[in-house]
A and B are shown apart, each in its own frame.
Chain A
Amino acid sequence: MKTLLILGAGTAGTMLANKITRKLDSRVWKVILVDKDETHYYQPGFLFVPFGMNKPQEIIRPKRKYVPAGVEFVLSDVERIDPGANQVILTKENRVIHYDYLVIASGTEIRPDQVEGMLDGGWQQNIFDFYTFEGTNKLANFLKTWQGGRLVVNVAEMPIKCPVAPLEFVFLADWYFTRRGIRNKVDIIYSTPLPGAFTKPIAAAHLGDMLEKRGIHVESEFNIGEVDSTKNVIRSWDDREIPYDLLVATPTNMGAEFIERSGMGDELNFVPTNKHTLQSEQWENIWVLGDAANLPTSKAGAVVHYQMEAAIENLLAHMQGRELKGHFDGHANCFVESGFNKGLLIDFNYDVEPLPGAFPMPIVGPFKLLGESVFNHWGKLAFGWMYWNLMLKGIDIPLPNEFSMLGKVIPESFDAKQTLKLQRGDSHV
């Protein structure tokens, strides 16, 4: 028997297990799926919990429910990978699993310990995250009785998963406080290390406008150096200060610590990965999917969806000694909630930045890219259903895989050359 070992049963690991077991001969291949957590979280739902738009129990399900028959599910943390010996050592009973192929799908986690002072004093008192189940629930409780003041939403450093989520948070906060009748008692400040609202210039301009219209103040190029809980201020490395009453933090996002223990990661524990084939840059029998990879595209569930076809094709090809023809183009898209029952969709890949236009989705009909409409909002809500019932189970979703320029409008003010240049020069530091 040969072993395909998958580390991480989140979006990517679960999808892969479901899809690939249909393609592998079960008399030859044993598939093992390892995760340290028994519960699967629908992470986009974390955004809605603080505003009462999702109840906590709506966004969790047992992981085992999504493990296909014949696959062994192991509940354990990973001690380390020994890629030279083709084996993984688990923390549970020090079990050693020998693999023929390994898929790393351990995602990314927030690391509040990476920002000085963030865990001192104010953490989960008046400093919260909404990137974890625990964090978002505590924030929901806090907001219920909060009577207003300065709400500061901070992004510590890029990259973060779902890079628009903190922006969506401020849009929803604007809507939520309006609905509660206390919008005039709340100052909303969005502080980001980027030069503007988003990493990509055309989208940044659109989103920037939307923020201004809503009276949300943006502190750009703010690289947080410390949180001072005694004074309730955050301070940047270049000594700017932003006072807060409530700090909603998006701390540094990093890959799993076992990646570092295995000596396989970059400075943020993301695994160097070929951006088109999704094979590890260093080890030919290792593939890296989803947020765990160091790819220059967004870390998002939609990206996992777009990667899956190329990943499976290449894994099978490599197992059979064929050439790797699967090609991932960096395709990412995100439904952005903008409050007041509206949303917008941004869509891009390695080479094309997000453009306004309409996104062709055969069954559900076109979503407007980068424009607000009620329909886009339903895109996001509909996505939750698609996630549990189609995506995780490895059933195809009616989203075109290959990024298509159909329906996109390049703004007249951007000539192609300028767009390309802006894209390449896109950076936050």
Chain B
Amino acid sequence: MVGIRTHDLRKVYNSAPPFGAGGGSPPAQRGKQKKPKPEIVALDGLSLEVAAGEVFGLLGPNGAGKSTTVGILTTRVQPTGGQAWIGEHDVWKQQVPVKRVIGVVAQRPNLDFSLTAREILAFHGAYFGLDSHERTKRADALLERFKLTDRADQMVRGFSGGMMQRLSIARAMMHDPQVLFLDEPSAGLDPQTRLLLWEIIREYNHSGKTILLTTHNMEEADALSHRLAIIDHGRMIALGTPGDLKASVPGGYLLRLRFGTNSPELLEKLRSLAGVREVRPVEPNGADVYADRGGSLIPEVATFAASSGAELHDVNISEPSLENLFLHHTGRSLRE
């Protein structure tokens, strides 16, 4: 069983992200030299420890640094600072032993368009030294498990996005790696395929494997991870089990309110309501209210609003969730 560890990882990109790279708009901080070089700080001192046999989730919005973290841990990105280990091996210095024990599903599809699905699995197995009997056996089993058997001998060029994604994951499992990296594995999958994938991920974990998955879908992070880290701007902002993290949001419930006018006095009044833990003003005329109850607060809020002359225009109530946690830490929604 093999775990994952990083210490104070930093990554600064010196060029604009290549076309189609994951991540949001780069926060280009231009230096003052004559020819300005964009400097993008993707990771800013990230330390993680993933236990062997754990399913660990990295949750964060686009551009948070999830793919960069996976890239460093899988030898594809050179860290600017800090260290990363897979088991006992320093990832950057001992690339080959590291590559032997990891399987990787990249965020962007990277299947071999000149081959059929079965050939892709077989050649991947061959790179890892499996003999031809073993390759055939494993490829057949994986094709079956991922419901690709009927397309096994077709070129992947014509596959749908979901089929390519399934095949990518099958390929990553082909050499039975001790550590599996899945970068946004269910992005763009239909709900049915997503459930199949979740089932397969759990099953793989039960066979003793360590899994690191990234997602910006909190539901997925919640459903799959034993523990998860929430990252934003290359920094960790929260770490724990999904349950602990959700419980750490004050009150748990979040009421996003919007009023007709801006009234600081109203916000003061809201703070005095029973069960309200925290009230944060939101520009221009709103407030985020963290409370330990949800809908039952609304009549009181509406009454206060009316009496302050700031009519209640819009209400959005959410139950305890990781989304709320992210909002609480950053003031932004994960989906933004």
Partners in one complex: no
